[in-house]
Structure 1
Amino acid sequence: MSQTAIRSACLPSGQDVSFFEEKGYWVSPVIFSNEELERIKEHQDMVYRGQYELGREPVCNWLEGQDNPAALRKTDNSHWADGTLRQLALDPTVGAIAAKLMNADAIKLWHDQLLYKPARKSAKESANVGWHQDFSYWQCAQEPTLITAWVAFHDVDLSNGCMQMVPRSHKWGLLNVSDFFEQNMDSQKDQMDVPDGEELTTVPIIMKAGQVSFHHALTIHGSGANTSGEPRRSMAIHLMTGDTVYSGRPRGEGHFNAKMMAGRVGERFEGDAWPTLFAAKS
Protein backbone atom coordinates (compact mmCIF):
# COMPACT_ATOMS: atom_id res chain seq x y z
CA MET A 1 0.00 0.00 0.00
CA SER A 2 1.93 3.00 -1.23
CA GLN A 3 -0.77 5.04 -3.00
CA THR A 4 -1.31 8.49 -1.49
CA ALA A 5 -2.77 10.58 -4.35
CA ILE A 6 -6.48 10.73 -5.10
CA ARG A 7 -7.44 8.46 -7.98
CA SER A 8 -9.62 10.95 -9.85
CA ALA A 9 -11.01 8.34 -12.26
CA CYS A 10 -12.78 6.69 -9.31
CA LEU A 11 -14.65 9.81 -8.16
CA PRO A 12 -18.45 9.89 -8.55
CA SER A 13 -20.09 11.94 -11.30
CA GLY A 14 -22.97 14.32 -10.68
CA GLN A 15 -25.33 11.52 -11.72
CA ASP A 16 -23.69 9.19 -9.21
CA VAL A 17 -24.14 11.75 -6.43
CA SER A 18 -27.82 12.10 -7.36
CA PHE A 19 -28.18 8.30 -7.18
CA PHE A 20 -26.65 8.28 -3.69
CA GLU A 21 -28.92 11.12 -2.55
CA GLU A 22 -32.00 9.24 -3.78
CA LYS A 23 -31.09 5.65 -2.85
CA GLY A 24 -28.74 6.08 0.11
CA TYR A 25 -25.87 4.04 -1.33
CA TRP A 26 -23.42 3.93 -4.25
CA VAL A 27 -20.68 1.55 -5.46
CA SER A 28 -17.33 2.81 -6.76
CA PRO A 29 -15.19 1.39 -9.56
CA VAL A 30 -12.29 -0.85 -8.50
CA ILE A 31 -9.98 1.26 -6.32
CA PHE A 32 -7.59 -1.30 -4.82
CA SER A 33 -5.51 -3.77 -6.85
CA ASN A 34 -5.23 -7.49 -6.17
CA GLU A 35 -1.65 -6.95 -5.02
CA GLU A 36 -2.75 -4.34 -2.50
CA LEU A 37 -5.55 -6.57 -1.27
CA GLU A 38 -3.24 -9.55 -0.75
CA ARG A 39 -1.00 -7.43 1.46
CA ILE A 40 -4.01 -6.13 3.36
CA LYS A 41 -5.21 -9.69 4.03
CA GLU A 42 -1.77 -10.68 5.31
CA HIS A 43 -1.89 -7.82 7.80
CA GLN A 44 -5.47 -8.70 8.73
CA ASP A 45 -4.23 -12.13 9.78
CA MET A 46 -1.40 -10.54 11.77
CA VAL A 47 -3.97 -8.63 13.83
CA TYR A 48 -5.92 -11.85 14.47
CA ARG A 49 -2.68 -13.38 15.78
CA GLY A 50 -2.27 -10.46 18.16
CA GLN A 51 0.67 -9.01 16.25
CA TYR A 52 0.26 -5.24 16.56
CA GLU A 53 3.09 -3.62 14.61
CA LEU A 54 2.11 -0.11 15.75
CA GLY A 55 2.11 -1.22 19.38
CA ARG A 56 -1.54 -0.47 20.13
CA GLU A 57 -4.33 -2.98 20.60
CA PRO A 58 -7.54 -2.43 18.60
CA VAL A 59 -11.02 -2.56 20.13
CA CYS A 60 -12.81 -5.93 20.46
CA ASN A 61 -10.32 -7.88 18.36
CA TRP A 62 -10.99 -11.52 17.48
CA LEU A 63 -7.95 -13.60 18.46
CA GLU A 64 -6.72 -16.83 16.89
CA GLY A 65 -6.82 -19.79 19.27
CA GLN A 66 -9.03 -17.95 21.73
CA ASP A 67 -12.32 -16.97 20.05
CA ASN A 68 -15.02 -18.92 18.19
CA PRO A 69 -13.79 -19.66 14.64
CA ALA A 70 -17.41 -19.86 13.37
CA ALA A 71 -18.28 -16.36 14.60
CA LEU A 72 -18.22 -13.15 12.61
CA ARG A 73 -14.94 -11.37 13.36
CA LYS A 74 -15.41 -7.64 13.99
CA THR A 75 -12.34 -5.64 15.01
CA ASP A 76 -12.83 -1.94 15.71
CA ASN A 77 -10.02 0.54 15.02
CA SER A 78 -7.59 -1.88 13.45
CA HIS A 79 -5.79 1.26 12.22
CA TRP A 80 -4.46 1.67 15.76
CA ALA A 81 -2.60 -1.63 15.46
CA ASP A 82 -1.25 -1.95 11.92
CA GLY A 83 0.30 0.43 9.39
CA THR A 84 -1.07 -1.26 6.26
CA LEU A 85 -4.59 -1.30 7.69
CA ARG A 86 -4.17 2.31 8.79
CA GLN A 87 -3.24 3.31 5.24
CA LEU A 88 -6.40 1.61 3.99
CA ALA A 89 -8.61 3.27 6.61
CA LEU A 90 -7.18 6.70 5.71
CA ASP A 91 -7.18 6.27 1.93
CA PRO A 92 -7.56 9.73 0.32
CA THR A 93 -9.59 8.47 -2.65
CA VAL A 94 -12.15 6.97 -0.28
CA GLY A 95 -12.21 10.28 1.58
CA ALA A 96 -12.65 12.33 -1.60
CA ILE A 97 -15.54 10.11 -2.74
CA ALA A 98 -17.24 10.44 0.65
CA ALA A 99 -16.85 14.23 0.49
CA LYS A 100 -18.59 14.39 -2.89
CA LEU A 101 -21.41 12.09 -1.82
CA MET A 102 -21.99 14.00 1.43
CA ASN A 103 -21.38 17.46 -0.11
CA ALA A 104 -18.74 18.09 2.55
CA ASP A 105 -15.56 20.14 2.65
CA ALA A 106 -13.79 17.66 4.92
CA ILE A 107 -14.01 13.97 5.77
CA LYS A 108 -12.57 12.41 8.93
CA LEU A 109 -12.30 8.85 10.17
CA TRP A 110 -15.04 7.95 12.65
CA HIS A 111 -13.59 4.47 13.15
CA ASP A 112 -12.81 1.39 11.10
CA GLN A 113 -14.13 -2.15 11.41
CA LEU A 114 -12.05 -5.03 10.08
CA LEU A 115 -14.48 -7.81 9.16
CA TYR A 116 -14.16 -11.54 8.45
CA LYS A 117 -17.23 -13.64 7.74
CA PRO A 118 -16.28 -17.34 7.97
CA ALA A 119 -17.71 -19.93 5.62
CA ARG A 120 -20.74 -21.67 7.09
CA LYS A 121 -20.02 -25.31 7.98
CA SER A 122 -23.49 -26.26 9.20
CA ALA A 123 -27.07 -24.98 9.08
CA LYS A 124 -26.69 -23.83 12.70
CA GLU A 125 -23.90 -21.43 11.75
CA SER A 126 -24.74 -18.28 9.83
CA ALA A 127 -22.66 -15.23 10.93
CA ASN A 128 -25.42 -13.02 9.52
CA VAL A 129 -25.27 -9.28 10.03
CA GLY A 130 -28.77 -8.23 11.02
CA TRP A 131 -30.67 -5.32 9.48
CA HIS A 132 -29.47 -2.13 11.08
CA GLN A 133 -28.84 1.58 10.65
CA ASP A 134 -25.33 2.61 11.65
CA PHE A 135 -26.57 5.83 13.25
CA SER A 136 -28.55 3.84 15.82
CA TYR A 137 -25.14 2.98 17.34
CA TRP A 138 -23.60 6.41 16.75
CA GLN A 139 -25.95 8.74 18.59
CA CYS A 140 -23.02 10.35 20.35
CA ALA A 141 -22.96 12.33 17.08
CA GLN A 142 -25.50 15.17 17.03
CA GLU A 143 -26.66 14.56 13.45
CA PRO A 144 -26.31 11.63 10.97
CA THR A 145 -23.51 13.38 9.11
CA LEU A 146 -21.73 10.06 8.66
CA ILE A 147 -21.13 7.63 5.82
CA THR A 148 -19.59 4.17 5.57
CA ALA A 149 -17.18 2.96 2.89
CA TRP A 150 -17.13 -0.86 2.72
CA VAL A 151 -14.05 -2.28 0.98
CA ALA A 152 -14.43 -5.73 -0.57
CA PHE A 153 -11.26 -7.83 -0.29
CA HIS A 154 -12.83 -10.51 -2.57
CA ASP A 155 -15.54 -10.66 -5.19
CA VAL A 156 -18.81 -10.66 -3.24
CA ASP A 157 -22.33 -11.80 -4.05
CA LEU A 158 -25.19 -13.51 -2.23
CA SER A 159 -23.26 -16.81 -2.04
CA ASN A 160 -20.66 -15.37 0.34
CA GLY A 161 -22.89 -12.97 2.22
CA CYS A 162 -22.61 -9.69 0.35
CA MET A 163 -24.18 -6.61 1.86
CA GLN A 164 -27.79 -5.86 1.05
CA MET A 165 -29.26 -2.35 1.12
CA VAL A 166 -32.79 -1.02 1.57
CA PRO A 167 -33.10 1.80 -0.99
CA ARG A 168 -34.43 5.17 0.25
CA SER A 169 -34.34 4.03 3.90
CA HIS A 170 -31.94 6.88 4.73
CA LYS A 171 -34.97 9.16 4.29
CA TRP A 172 -37.04 7.33 6.93
CA GLY A 173 -35.32 8.51 10.12
CA LEU A 174 -34.38 6.05 12.85
CA LEU A 175 -36.60 2.98 12.82
CA ASN A 176 -37.71 0.75 15.68
CA VAL A 177 -35.64 -2.26 14.56
CA SER A 178 -31.85 -2.13 14.26
CA ASP A 179 -29.58 -4.94 15.45
CA PHE A 180 -26.20 -5.75 13.89
CA PHE A 181 -26.03 -9.10 15.72
CA GLU A 182 -29.57 -10.40 15.01
CA GLN A 183 -29.54 -13.64 12.99
CA ASN A 184 -33.25 -13.83 12.12
CA MET A 185 -33.33 -11.21 9.38
CA ASP A 186 -36.82 -12.15 8.13
CA SER A 187 -38.30 -11.56 11.56
CA GLN A 188 -36.61 -8.16 11.70
CA LYS A 189 -38.22 -7.08 8.44
CA ASP A 190 -41.65 -8.15 9.69
CA GLN A 191 -41.25 -5.94 12.77
CA MET A 192 -40.04 -2.76 11.06
CA ASP A 193 -42.31 0.28 11.11
CA VAL A 194 -41.86 1.35 7.50
CA PRO A 195 -43.25 4.84 6.78
CA ASP A 196 -46.52 5.13 4.86
CA GLY A 197 -45.98 5.25 1.12
CA GLU A 198 -42.58 3.52 1.33
CA GLU A 199 -41.66 -0.09 0.59
CA LEU A 200 -39.04 -2.27 2.23
CA THR A 201 -37.16 -3.82 -0.67
CA THR A 202 -33.62 -5.16 -0.51
CA VAL A 203 -30.86 -4.90 -3.11
CA PRO A 204 -27.78 -7.19 -3.04
CA ILE A 205 -24.56 -5.21 -3.50
CA ILE A 206 -22.57 -7.45 -5.84
CA MET A 207 -18.98 -6.25 -6.12
CA LYS A 208 -15.56 -7.09 -7.51
CA ALA A 209 -12.54 -7.29 -5.23
CA GLY A 210 -11.21 -3.78 -4.65
CA GLN A 211 -14.52 -2.00 -5.19
CA VAL A 212 -15.94 0.11 -2.38
CA SER A 213 -19.61 0.57 -1.53
CA PHE A 214 -20.77 3.70 0.26
CA HIS A 215 -23.93 4.04 2.35
CA HIS A 216 -25.45 6.79 4.47
CA ALA A 217 -25.53 6.34 8.24
CA LEU A 218 -29.34 5.96 8.13
CA THR A 219 -29.45 3.44 5.27
CA ILE A 220 -30.75 0.08 6.44
CA HIS A 221 -28.40 -2.73 5.50
CA GLY A 222 -27.35 -6.24 6.52
CA SER A 223 -25.88 -9.42 5.10
CA GLY A 224 -26.69 -13.13 5.03
CA ALA A 225 -24.68 -16.28 5.52
CA ASN A 226 -21.47 -17.12 3.70
CA THR A 227 -22.12 -20.43 1.92
CA SER A 228 -19.22 -20.17 -0.54
CA GLY A 229 -16.74 -22.38 1.28
CA GLU A 230 -14.22 -19.52 1.64
CA PRO A 231 -14.10 -16.66 4.17
CA ARG A 232 -15.40 -13.24 3.15
CA ARG A 233 -13.06 -10.44 4.19
CA SER A 234 -13.62 -6.68 4.17
CA MET A 235 -13.12 -3.42 5.99
CA ALA A 236 -15.87 -0.96 6.87
CA ILE A 237 -14.35 2.52 6.97
CA HIS A 238 -16.79 4.62 8.95
CA LEU A 239 -16.44 8.31 8.13
CA MET A 240 -17.88 11.66 9.21
CA THR A 241 -18.02 15.14 7.79
CA GLY A 242 -15.77 17.76 9.34
CA ASP A 243 -18.67 19.48 11.10
CA THR A 244 -19.83 16.42 13.06
CA VAL A 245 -20.25 17.31 16.74
CA TYR A 246 -20.57 15.38 19.98
CA SER A 247 -24.15 15.20 21.25
CA GLY A 248 -23.79 13.89 24.79
CA ARG A 249 -26.97 11.81 24.34
CA PRO A 250 -27.24 9.07 26.99
CA ARG A 251 -27.98 6.49 24.26
CA GLY A 252 -24.63 7.21 22.65
CA GLU A 253 -22.41 7.25 25.72
CA GLY A 254 -21.35 3.61 25.38
CA HIS A 255 -19.47 4.23 22.14
CA PHE A 256 -15.71 4.57 22.52
CA ASN A 257 -15.75 7.81 20.50
CA ALA A 258 -18.03 9.35 23.12
CA LYS A 259 -15.63 8.32 25.87
CA MET A 260 -12.73 9.97 24.04
CA MET A 261 -14.67 13.26 23.86
CA ALA A 262 -14.66 13.39 27.66
CA GLY A 263 -17.94 15.30 27.97
CA ARG A 264 -17.20 18.08 25.45
CA VAL A 265 -20.85 18.38 24.36
CA GLY A 266 -21.41 20.48 21.26
CA GLU A 267 -17.77 20.37 20.17
CA ARG A 268 -16.53 18.84 16.94
CA PHE A 269 -14.83 15.46 16.90
CA GLU A 270 -11.28 16.74 16.33
CA GLY A 271 -7.78 15.56 17.12
CA ASP A 272 -5.53 12.56 16.58
CA ALA A 273 -8.32 10.10 17.36
CA TRP A 274 -10.19 11.17 14.21
CA PRO A 275 -7.64 11.75 11.42
CA THR A 276 -8.58 13.58 8.22
CA LEU A 277 -8.86 11.66 4.93
CA PHE A 278 -9.87 14.62 2.79
CA ALA A 279 -9.98 18.42 3.13
CA ALA A 280 -10.93 20.79 0.32
CA LYS A 281 -8.30 23.35 -0.61
CA SER A 282 -9.23 26.83 0.58
Structure 2
Amino acid sequence: MFTALENCLPTEQDAAFFKENGYWVSPVIFSPDELSEIVEHQDKMYHGDYETGREPICNWLEGRDHPRSLRKTDNSHWSDLTLRKVATDPTIGAIAGKLLGAESIRLFHDQLLYKPGRATAKETANVGWHQDYVYWQCCMEPTLVTAWVAFTDVDLSNGCMQVVPRSNQWGLLSVNNFFEQNLEKQRDMMDIPANEKFETVPLVMKAGQVSFHHALTIHGSGPNTTDHARRSMAVHLMSGETRYRSTEKGDGHFNAQMMKGKDGERFQGENWPVLYPAGSVD
Protein backbone atom coordinates (compact mmCIF):
# COMPACT_ATOMS: atom_id res chain seq x y z
CA MET A 1 0.00 0.00 0.00
CA PHE A 2 1.26 3.47 -0.90
CA THR A 3 1.63 5.91 2.00
CA ALA A 4 2.22 9.63 2.20
CA LEU A 5 5.71 11.06 2.68
CA GLU A 6 5.45 12.45 6.20
CA ASN A 7 8.31 14.91 5.74
CA CYS A 8 6.39 16.63 2.92
CA LEU A 9 3.16 17.26 4.84
CA PRO A 10 2.22 20.82 5.85
CA THR A 11 2.39 21.98 9.45
CA GLU A 12 -0.44 23.76 11.26
CA GLN A 13 1.30 27.03 10.40
CA ASP A 14 1.43 26.04 6.73
CA ALA A 15 -2.29 25.23 6.77
CA ALA A 16 -3.01 28.62 8.37
CA PHE A 17 -0.94 30.33 5.66
CA PHE A 18 -2.94 28.50 2.98
CA LYS A 19 -6.25 29.49 4.56
CA GLU A 20 -5.17 33.15 4.63
CA ASN A 21 -3.40 33.41 1.28
CA GLY A 22 -4.85 30.61 -0.84
CA TYR A 23 -1.62 28.87 -1.82
CA TRP A 24 1.27 26.80 -0.49
CA VAL A 25 4.33 25.08 -2.02
CA SER A 26 5.53 21.64 -0.94
CA PRO A 27 9.04 20.26 -0.66
CA VAL A 28 10.23 17.99 -3.50
CA ILE A 29 7.90 14.98 -3.75
CA PHE A 30 8.99 13.29 -6.99
CA SER A 31 12.57 12.07 -7.56
CA PRO A 32 14.61 12.69 -10.75
CA ASP A 33 14.11 9.06 -11.81
CA GLU A 34 10.35 9.33 -11.33
CA LEU A 35 10.25 12.58 -13.27
CA SER A 36 12.25 11.08 -16.15
CA GLU A 37 9.68 8.29 -16.47
CA ILE A 38 6.78 10.75 -16.17
CA VAL A 39 8.14 12.95 -18.98
CA GLU A 40 8.64 9.89 -21.18
CA HIS A 41 5.00 8.94 -20.70
CA GLN A 42 3.89 12.54 -21.25
CA ASP A 43 5.51 12.45 -24.69
CA LYS A 44 3.77 9.15 -25.45
CA MET A 45 0.45 10.91 -24.94
CA TYR A 46 1.30 13.43 -27.65
CA HIS A 47 1.84 10.60 -30.12
CA GLY A 48 -1.51 9.02 -29.29
CA ASP A 49 0.14 6.10 -27.47
CA TYR A 50 -2.50 5.34 -24.84
CA GLU A 51 -1.25 2.60 -22.54
CA THR A 52 -4.70 1.62 -21.25
CA GLY A 53 -6.42 1.89 -24.63
CA ARG A 54 -8.70 4.63 -23.31
CA GLU A 55 -8.46 8.12 -24.79
CA PRO A 56 -8.35 11.21 -22.57
CA ILE A 57 -11.07 13.86 -22.76
CA CYS A 58 -8.96 15.93 -25.13
CA ASN A 59 -5.32 15.84 -26.18
CA TRP A 60 -2.73 17.70 -28.24
CA LEU A 61 -1.41 15.38 -30.96
CA GLU A 62 1.85 15.49 -32.94
CA GLY A 63 1.21 16.21 -36.62
CA ARG A 64 -2.33 17.48 -36.01
CA ASP A 65 -2.17 20.44 -33.63
CA HIS A 66 -0.19 23.70 -33.68
CA PRO A 67 3.35 23.08 -32.34
CA ARG A 68 3.48 26.52 -30.66
CA SER A 69 0.24 26.17 -28.71
CA LEU A 70 -0.18 25.37 -25.04
CA ARG A 71 -0.83 21.63 -24.75
CA LYS A 72 -3.61 20.74 -22.33
CA THR A 73 -4.77 17.14 -21.90
CA ASP A 74 -7.78 16.50 -19.67
CA ASN A 75 -7.86 13.24 -17.70
CA SER A 76 -4.55 11.83 -18.86
CA HIS A 77 -4.90 9.38 -15.94
CA TRP A 78 -7.50 7.50 -17.99
CA SER A 79 -4.90 6.73 -20.63
CA ASP A 80 -1.58 6.13 -18.91
CA LEU A 81 -0.74 4.28 -15.68
CA THR A 82 2.40 6.31 -14.91
CA LEU A 83 0.47 9.56 -15.22
CA ARG A 84 -2.29 8.01 -13.14
CA LYS A 85 0.22 7.51 -10.30
CA VAL A 86 0.90 11.25 -10.36
CA ALA A 87 -2.80 12.18 -10.41
CA THR A 88 -3.59 9.83 -7.51
CA ASP A 89 -0.40 10.27 -5.47
CA PRO A 90 -1.13 9.69 -1.75
CA THR A 91 1.25 12.43 -0.57
CA ILE A 92 -0.50 14.98 -2.76
CA GLY A 93 -3.83 13.74 -1.41
CA ALA A 94 -2.70 13.95 2.22
CA ILE A 95 -1.39 17.50 1.72
CA ALA A 96 -4.67 18.57 0.13
CA GLY A 97 -6.60 17.05 3.01
CA LYS A 98 -4.59 18.95 5.61
CA LEU A 99 -4.77 22.25 3.70
CA LEU A 100 -8.52 22.01 3.16
CA GLY A 101 -9.17 20.53 6.59
CA ALA A 102 -10.98 17.64 4.90
CA GLU A 103 -11.30 14.07 6.15
CA SER A 104 -11.01 12.68 2.62
CA ILE A 105 -9.81 13.84 -0.80
CA ARG A 106 -10.87 12.67 -4.26
CA LEU A 107 -9.54 13.37 -7.73
CA PHE A 108 -11.79 15.79 -9.62
CA HIS A 109 -9.73 15.55 -12.81
CA ASP A 110 -6.20 16.11 -14.07
CA GLN A 111 -4.73 18.33 -16.77
CA LEU A 112 -1.40 17.40 -18.34
CA LEU A 113 0.30 20.65 -19.41
CA TYR A 114 3.14 21.51 -21.79
CA LYS A 115 4.15 25.12 -22.46
CA PRO A 116 6.52 25.25 -25.49
CA GLY A 117 9.73 27.24 -25.33
CA ARG A 118 10.97 30.23 -27.32
CA ALA A 119 7.78 32.25 -27.02
CA THR A 120 7.21 34.86 -29.72
CA ALA A 121 5.24 38.07 -29.61
CA LYS A 122 2.26 36.47 -31.33
CA GLU A 123 2.45 33.05 -29.73
CA THR A 124 3.07 33.37 -26.03
CA ALA A 125 1.06 30.39 -24.67
CA ASN A 126 0.12 32.50 -21.64
CA VAL A 127 -2.47 31.26 -19.17
CA GLY A 128 -4.94 34.06 -18.41
CA TRP A 129 -5.91 35.17 -14.90
CA HIS A 130 -8.64 32.90 -13.63
CA GLN A 131 -10.15 31.13 -10.65
CA ASP A 132 -10.63 27.41 -11.16
CA TYR A 133 -14.06 27.47 -9.57
CA VAL A 134 -15.49 29.52 -12.44
CA TYR A 135 -15.20 26.33 -14.53
CA TRP A 136 -16.40 24.05 -11.71
CA GLN A 137 -19.81 25.46 -10.85
CA CYS A 138 -21.20 21.96 -11.11
CA CYS A 139 -19.88 21.74 -7.53
CA MET A 140 -22.18 23.20 -4.86
CA GLU A 141 -19.30 24.89 -3.03
CA PRO A 142 -15.63 25.64 -3.84
CA THR A 143 -14.35 22.78 -1.68
CA LEU A 144 -11.56 22.09 -4.17
CA VAL A 145 -7.82 22.62 -4.44
CA THR A 146 -5.35 22.26 -7.31
CA ALA A 147 -1.98 20.56 -6.91
CA TRP A 148 0.33 21.78 -9.68
CA VAL A 149 3.19 19.29 -10.15
CA ALA A 150 6.37 20.71 -11.70
CA PHE A 151 8.07 18.17 -13.99
CA THR A 152 10.81 20.74 -14.74
CA ASP A 153 12.33 23.64 -12.82
CA VAL A 154 10.05 26.68 -13.17
CA ASP A 155 10.59 30.42 -12.75
CA LEU A 156 9.48 33.59 -14.53
CA SER A 157 11.72 32.86 -17.52
CA ASN A 158 9.74 29.79 -18.53
CA GLY A 159 6.30 30.95 -17.42
CA CYS A 160 5.90 29.71 -13.86
CA MET A 161 2.51 30.04 -12.22
CA GLN A 162 1.77 33.33 -10.50
CA VAL A 163 -0.85 33.62 -7.76
CA VAL A 164 -2.62 36.55 -6.13
CA PRO A 165 -2.44 36.17 -2.33
CA ARG A 166 -5.73 36.51 -0.41
CA SER A 167 -7.79 36.34 -3.62
CA ASN A 168 -9.27 33.11 -2.29
CA GLN A 169 -11.24 35.40 0.05
CA TRP A 170 -12.67 37.65 -2.69
CA GLY A 171 -15.46 35.42 -3.94
CA LEU A 172 -16.01 34.59 -7.61
CA LEU A 173 -14.97 37.53 -9.82
CA SER A 174 -16.33 38.55 -13.21
CA VAL A 175 -13.05 38.42 -15.18
CA ASN A 176 -11.97 34.81 -15.63
CA ASN A 177 -10.40 33.38 -18.80
CA PHE A 178 -7.81 30.60 -18.86
CA PHE A 179 -7.09 31.25 -22.57
CA GLU A 180 -6.70 35.04 -22.43
CA GLN A 181 -3.25 36.14 -23.66
CA ASN A 182 -3.34 39.82 -22.62
CA LEU A 183 -2.80 39.49 -18.88
CA GLU A 184 -2.32 43.23 -18.28
CA LYS A 185 -5.61 44.19 -19.94
CA GLN A 186 -7.39 41.44 -18.04
CA ARG A 187 -5.92 42.64 -14.76
CA ASP A 188 -7.03 46.23 -15.43
CA MET A 189 -10.61 45.06 -16.02
CA MET A 190 -10.80 43.03 -12.83
CA ASP A 191 -13.13 44.41 -10.17
CA ILE A 192 -11.49 43.43 -6.89
CA PRO A 193 -12.89 44.18 -3.42
CA ALA A 194 -12.18 47.54 -1.78
CA ASN A 195 -9.05 47.71 0.39
CA GLU A 196 -7.50 44.73 -1.43
CA LYS A 197 -4.54 44.72 -3.82
CA PHE A 198 -3.85 42.71 -6.95
CA GLU A 199 -0.27 41.70 -6.19
CA THR A 200 1.23 38.62 -7.77
CA VAL A 201 3.67 36.08 -6.34
CA PRO A 202 5.65 33.89 -8.78
CA LEU A 203 5.85 30.28 -7.63
CA VAL A 204 9.49 29.48 -8.37
CA MET A 205 9.91 25.74 -7.96
CA LYS A 206 12.32 22.89 -8.46
CA ALA A 207 11.31 19.89 -10.55
CA GLY A 208 9.36 17.53 -8.31
CA GLN A 209 7.85 20.21 -6.09
CA VAL A 210 4.09 20.71 -5.98
CA SER A 211 2.20 23.96 -5.47
CA PHE A 212 -1.33 24.02 -4.06
CA HIS A 213 -3.92 26.73 -4.64
CA HIS A 214 -7.56 27.06 -3.60
CA ALA A 215 -10.32 26.94 -6.21
CA LEU A 216 -10.96 30.70 -5.69
CA THR A 217 -7.29 31.77 -5.83
CA ILE A 218 -6.58 33.93 -8.88
CA HIS A 219 -3.65 32.60 -10.87
CA GLY A 220 -2.12 32.61 -14.35
CA SER A 221 1.25 32.47 -16.08
CA GLY A 222 3.32 34.34 -18.61
CA PRO A 223 5.39 33.24 -21.62
CA ASN A 224 8.10 30.62 -21.77
CA THR A 225 11.08 32.48 -23.21
CA THR A 226 13.58 29.64 -22.75
CA ASP A 227 14.67 26.98 -25.23
CA HIS A 228 12.98 24.17 -23.29
CA ALA A 229 9.36 23.23 -22.67
CA ARG A 230 7.77 23.87 -19.30
CA ARG A 231 6.11 20.60 -18.28
CA SER A 232 3.62 19.96 -15.49
CA MET A 233 0.37 18.38 -14.38
CA ALA A 234 -2.49 20.16 -12.64
CA VAL A 235 -4.13 17.66 -10.30
CA HIS A 236 -7.56 19.04 -9.42
CA LEU A 237 -8.81 17.66 -6.13
CA MET A 238 -11.96 17.93 -4.05
CA SER A 239 -13.14 17.20 -0.54
CA GLY A 240 -14.91 13.88 -0.22
CA GLU A 241 -18.01 15.86 0.76
CA THR A 242 -18.18 17.81 -2.50
CA ARG A 243 -21.66 17.57 -4.05
CA TYR A 244 -22.97 18.02 -7.57
CA ARG A 245 -25.46 20.67 -8.63
CA SER A 246 -26.95 21.20 -12.06
CA THR A 247 -26.35 24.73 -13.38
CA GLU A 248 -26.32 26.29 -16.81
CA LYS A 249 -22.72 27.43 -16.30
CA GLY A 250 -21.51 24.14 -14.88
CA ASP A 251 -23.23 21.46 -16.93
CA GLY A 252 -20.76 21.72 -19.80
CA HIS A 253 -18.01 20.20 -17.67
CA PHE A 254 -17.42 16.51 -18.37
CA ASN A 255 -17.67 15.70 -14.67
CA ALA A 256 -21.15 17.24 -14.64
CA GLN A 257 -22.13 15.14 -17.62
CA MET A 258 -21.23 12.01 -15.65
CA MET A 259 -23.45 13.19 -12.77
CA LYS A 260 -26.67 13.95 -14.69
CA GLY A 261 -29.77 13.51 -12.56
CA LYS A 262 -27.85 13.37 -9.29
CA ASP A 263 -28.37 16.87 -7.87
CA GLY A 264 -27.17 17.08 -4.28
CA GLU A 265 -25.26 13.80 -4.41
CA ARG A 266 -21.55 13.54 -3.64
CA PHE A 267 -19.04 12.87 -6.38
CA GLN A 268 -17.98 9.29 -5.70
CA GLY A 269 -17.12 6.07 -7.48
CA GLU A 270 -14.40 5.02 -9.90
CA ASN A 271 -14.56 8.25 -11.94
CA TRP A 272 -13.31 10.18 -8.89
CA PRO A 273 -10.78 7.95 -7.08
CA VAL A 274 -9.82 8.53 -3.45
CA LEU A 275 -6.30 9.85 -2.76
CA TYR A 276 -6.69 10.39 0.97
CA PRO A 277 -6.82 8.50 3.25
CA ALA A 278 -4.40 6.34 1.25
CA GLY A 279 -5.78 2.95 0.28
CA SER A 280 -9.41 3.97 0.72
CA VAL A 281 -11.93 2.81 -1.88
CA ASP A 282 -15.71 3.11 -2.33
Q: TM-score range by the shorter chain?
A: over 0.9
Could you tell me which of 21, 24, 49 is aligned with 1:23? 21
Partner letter of residue 37 of structure 1? L
**Relative to 1, partners in 2 of residues 1:153 and 1:280: Cα closer, same or farther, differing over 3 Å?**
closer
Partner of residue 33, structure 1 = 31
Kept in 2, the 8 Å contact 1:105–1:280? The answer is no
Kept in 1, the 8 Å contact 2:162–2:201? The answer is yes
**Distance apart, 1:281 and its partner CA:** 10
Partner of residue 230, structure 1 = 228
TM-score by length of 1: 0.97
CA distance in 2, matches of 1:143, 1:121: 37
CA distance in 2, matches of 1:121, 1:14: 40
CA distance in 2, matches of 1:120, 1:131: 22
Quick check: 114-123 or 49-58, which moved more? 114-123
Q: Deviations over 1:108-128 (max 9, x none)?
A: 000000000001352211000
Structure 1 runs, 4 residues or longer, greater than 6 Å off: none
Kept in 2, the 8 Å contact 1:165–1:203? The answer is yes
Q: Where do residues 128-147 of structure 1 align in structure 2 (5 Å cutoff)? A: 128-147=126-145
Quick check: 117-126 or 65-74, which moved more? 117-126
Partner of residue 54, structure 2 = 56
**Distance apart, 1:230 and its partner CA:** 0.5
CA distance in 1, matches of 2:43, 2:89: 20
CA distance in 2, matches of 1:278, 1:25: 19
Q: Deviations over 1:36-57 (max 9, x none)?
A: 0000000001111001011100
**Distance apart, 1:228 and its partner CA:** 1.0
**Aligned residues: percent identity?**
66
Kept in 1, the 8 Å contact 2:2–2:279? The answer is no
**Count of residues in Structure 1 that have an aligned counterpart in Structure 2:** 280
Partner of residue 149, structure 1 = 147
Q: Deviations over 1:258-280 (max 9, x none)?
A: 00002210000011100000028
TM-score by length of 2: 0.97
Structure 2: runs of 5 or more not aligned: none
Kept in 2, the 8 Å contact 1:109–1:240? The answer is yes
Kept in 1, the 8 Å contact 2:76–2:83? The answer is yes
Kept in 1, the 8 Å contact 2:154–2:207? The answer is yes
**Distance apart, 1:249 and its partner CA:** 1.3
Partner of residue 124, structure 1 = 122
Kept in 1, the 8 Å contact 2:145–2:236? The answer is yes
CA distance in 1, matches of 2:241, 2:168: 19
CA distance in 2, matches of 1:85, 1:281: 18
Partner of residue 265, structure 1 = 263
2:109 maps to 1:114: no
Tell me the secondary structure at the aligned position of residue 75 of structure 1: strand
Partner letter of residue 215 of structure 1? H
Structure 1: runs of 5 or more not aligned: none
Kept in 2, the 8 Å contact 1:106–1:280? The answer is no
Partner letter of residue 252 of structure 2? G
Partner of residue 214, structure 1 = 212
Q: Deviations over 1:82-134 (max 9, x none)?
A: 00000110000000000000000000000000000001352211000000000
Quick check: 113-122 or 203-212, which moved more? 113-122
Partner letter of residue 273 of structure 2? P
CA distance in 2, matches of 1:228, 1:154: 12
